[in-house]
Chains A and B, each alone.
Chain A
Amino acid sequence: MKIGIFDWFLDTFGLRKPIRLGIYGSVNVGKTTLANKIALDWTGEEIGSISAVPHETRFVQKKEKVEIKHGGKKITINLLDMPGLATKIDYRDFLKYGIKRKEAKERAKEATQGVIEAIKWLNNVDTVLAVMDATKDPLTQVNATLLGNLEAKNIPVIIVINKIDLKNAKPENIKEMFSQYPSVEVSALTGKNIDKLYEMIAKYARR
Chain B
Amino acid sequence: MATHLVSVLNGLAMGSLLFAIALGLSLVFGMMDVLNLAHGAVYLVGAYVAVALVSDGAGVAPFVLAVLAAAVAGAVLGGLLASLTRATPHHLDQALLTLGVALVVGEGLSLVFGNDVHSIAAPEPVAGGVTVLGETYPVYRLLVIGFGAVLAVAVYVLVERSPLGSLIRATVADRAMVAALGVNTGRVLVGVFAAGAALAAVGGVLAGPILGAQPGLDEKVLLLALVVVVIGGLGSVRGALLGAVLIGQVQALGTALLPEYASFLVFAAMALVLLLRPAGLLPARSGVHA
Are A and B subunits of one complex? no
Chain A residues in contact with chain B, CB under 8 A? Answer: none
Chain B residues in contact with chain A, CB under 8 A? Answer: none
